[in-house]
């Protein structure tokens, strides 16, 4: 296979996404739908609220009866009963009477207004008036006051949520409010995660001389989870073809395979050889720093009956920071696309650089930085050493500041686009000084 030229980040992403399918839909219990994309239009089979109900705790009355009520000349009504939430009051509010009513209770027949307790003598009493007692109304309200109309939130028969919506907590609540216990949502992708390297040892075990702990499997599997995928951790493949091929074969059952290491130019970097032999499309360098060596291909799984299935295989670089940066730029978008998400770009902001970012060789630089906001403006400074093996500075960063390919240096005081790694936490990290 011809070795392709170094691709731009955009070209690489475009190729990856071209081989990344949107997965099929499945029916799921509501609590499993958070963050997932709805695959059906949901229509309400009920009005919400189903009946006119009270917006306050108070007295259901006839507006006509209290039109002259005031603090100095309260109007006294006879209480004929109570209307708690969850029941329809059996009687009727006739002239001169009232029903003590709770928030959410259907408004009794005859009543057209609710007077909140605060506007009655309710608060001055030890005990509330039972049926047969009196209540003094101290303020006039017009008809409809403190009453929520039937269908005010949702009208029966209307579409409350459309296919394509990302289900946030409020959306899950809306589905529940129209009586849905399940929803059709796009399936979550199973993402196989495979580390490669003779030097790797699993955490929790004792290191031998020359070994290091496998951190990529854990950071990558966590990132898979974070973006909605289901990680299937396949352990470590050693740097020989039989072991690598055997472990990759397990990855073919997943929706995507992500390996780390073995894609640069060392003697044992054989992941890309496997891709070159078995993959359908392949590339392995991207004009970016870190993560220049990056492999991608579509592995072909042969199914019974002569059918074939293509499994996207993303070969991340071995260096822990390169692996995560490449994940954020490429794997994240692919995992979101598989789940039917449309917005695939990472959230980004413009920030003023507090120190320069240098670009030595015409690649797009993603510099780990700490973003803060002061006086309503965003500032970015490097979170420490930018070596692609220095994982602690990635852990301390909340953003990746970009120096474009064609810019040799961005100076302090200049503005840079910053991809936000931790948008939520960063919002809270405001105004530190
Ligand atoms: P390679 O791509 O195999 O040349 O690996 C590049 C660098 O990443 C080497 O220093 C490896 O030891 C390191 N590395 C590879 N895989 C892992 C891993 N799973 N966890 C931590 N470091 C790794
Ligand atoms: Mg290696």
Distance 368 CA to ligand 1 centre (A): 19
| CA pair distance 227, 250, nearest whole angstrom | 22
| CB of 200 shorter than 6 A to ligand 1 | yes
State mean pLDDT over 303-317: 94
Smallest-distance ligand from the CA of 198: 2
| CB of 220 shorter than 6 A to ligand 1 | no
Atom of ligand 1 nearest to the CA of 268: 3
Smallest-distance ligand from the CA of 200: 1
Atom of ligand 1 nearest to the CA of 196: 16
State mean pLDDT over 270-299: 90
Give how far the C-alpha of residue 394 lies from the chain's centroid of Cα atoms, to the nearest Å: 21
Phi-psi region of 15 (alpha: psi -120 to 50; beta: other; left: phi over 0): alpha
Q: How confident is the model at residue 2 (pLDDT cuts 50, 70, 90)?
A: low
Distance 322 CA to ligand 1 centre (A): 10
Atom of ligand 1 nearest to the CA of 199: 12
Q: Assign 3-class secondary structure to 123-190.
A: HHCCCCCCCCCEEEECCCCCCCCCEECCCCCECCCCEEECCCCECCHHHHHHHHHCCCCEEEEECCCE
| CB of 260 shorter than 6 A to ligand 1 | yes
Burial state string for 378-393 with b = 16 or more CB within 10 A and e = fewer than 16: bbbbbbbebebebbeb
| CA pair distance 134, 419, nearest whole angstrom | 65
| CA pair distance 227, 225, nearest whole angstrom | 5
| CB of 212 shorter than 6 A to ligand 1 | yes
Percentage above 70 pLDDT, the chain: 97
Q: Report the residue among 199, 261, 326, 389 best suited for mutation to probe ligand 1: largest number of ligand atoms under 8 A from its CB.
A: 261
Q: 4 or 283: which carries more pLDDT confidence?
A: 283
Distance 290 CA to ligand 2 centre (A): 17
| CB of 261 shorter than 6 A to ligand 1 | yes
Q: How confident is the model at residue 199 (pLDDT cuts 50, 70, 90)?
A: very high
Q: Is the pLDDT of residue 232 over 90?
A: yes
Q: How confident is the model at residue 126 (pLDDT cuts 50, 70, 90)?
A: confident
For the whole model, what pTM was predicted?
0.93
Distance 3 CA to ligand 2 centre (A): 20
| CA pair distance 404, 99, nearest whole angstrom | 70
Q: How confident is the model at residue 267 (pLDDT cuts 50, 70, 90)?
A: confident
Tokens 């598989």 sit at which residue?
338
Structure confidence at residue 433 (pLDDT): 45
Give ion ligand 2 contacts, CB < 5 A: 197, 261
Weakest-pLDDT range from 6-10, 301-305, 332-336: 301-305
Cβ burial of 228 (10 Å; 0-12, 13-18, 19+) is buried
Q: How confident is the model at residue 3 (pLDDT cuts 50, 70, 90)?
A: low
Atom of ligand 1 nearest to the CA of 217: 19
Both tokens of 262, joined, read: 């073995």
Residue from 288, 340, 354, 298 nearest 319 by CA = 288
Structure confidence at residue 424 (pLDDT): 65
| CB of 197 shorter than 6 A to ligand 1 | yes
CB 325 within 8 A of CB 27: no
């Amino acid at each position: 296979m011809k070795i392709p030229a170094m691709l731009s980040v955009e070209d690489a992403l475009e190729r990856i996404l071209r081989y990344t399918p949107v997965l099929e839909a499945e029916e799921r219990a509501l609590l499993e739908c958070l963050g997932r994309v709805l695959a059906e239009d949901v229509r309400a089979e009920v009005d919400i609220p189903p009946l006119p109900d009270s917006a306050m705790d108070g007295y259901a009355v006839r507006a006509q009866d209290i039109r002259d009520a005031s603090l100095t000349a309260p109007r006294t009504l006879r209480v004929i009963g109570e209307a708690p939430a969850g029941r329809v009051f059996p009687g009727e509010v006739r002239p001169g009477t009232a029903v003590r009513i709770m928030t959410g209770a259907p408004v009794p027949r005859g009543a057209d207004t609710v007077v909140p307790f605060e506007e009655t003598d309710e608060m001055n009493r030890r005990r509330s008036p039972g049926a047969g007692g009196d209540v003094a109304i101290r303020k006039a309200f017009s008809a409809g006051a403190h009453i929520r109309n039937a269908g005010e939130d949702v009208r029966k028969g209307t579409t409350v949520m459309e296919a394509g919506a990302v289900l946030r907590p409020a959306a899950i609540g809306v589905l529940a409010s129209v009586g849905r216990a399940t929803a059709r949502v796009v399936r979550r992708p199973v993402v196989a995660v495979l580390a490669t390297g003779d030097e790797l040892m699993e955490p929790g075990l004792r290191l031998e001389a020359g070994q290091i702990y496998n951190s990529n499997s854990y950071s990558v599997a966590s990132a898979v989870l974070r973006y909605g995928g289901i990680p299937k951790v396949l352990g470590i493949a050693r740097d020989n073809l039989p072991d690598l091929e055997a472990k990759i074969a397990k990855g073919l059952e997943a929706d995507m395979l992500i390996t780390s290491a073995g894609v640069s130019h060392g003697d044992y970097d054989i992941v890309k050889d496997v891709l070159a032999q078995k993959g359908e499309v392949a590339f392995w360098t991207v004009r970016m720093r870190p993560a220049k060596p990056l492999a991608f291909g579509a592995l072909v799984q042969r199914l019974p009956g002569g059918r074939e299935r293509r499994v996207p295989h993303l070969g991340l670089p071995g260096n822990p920071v390169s692996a995560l940066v490449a994940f954020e730029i490429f794997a994240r978008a692919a995992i979101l696309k598989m789940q039917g998400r449309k917005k695939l770009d990472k959230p980004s902001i413009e920030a003023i650089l507090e120190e320069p970012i240098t670009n030595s060789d015409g690649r797009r630089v993603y510099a780990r930085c700490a973003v803060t906001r002061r006086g309503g403006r965003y500032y970015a400074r490097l979170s420490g050493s930018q070596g692609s093996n220095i994982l602690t500075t990635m852990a301390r960063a909340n953003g990746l500041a970009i120096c474009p390919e064609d810019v040799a240096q961005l100076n302090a005081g200049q503005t840079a686009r910053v991809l936000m790694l931790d948008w939520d936490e960063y919002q809270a990290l405001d105004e530190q000084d």
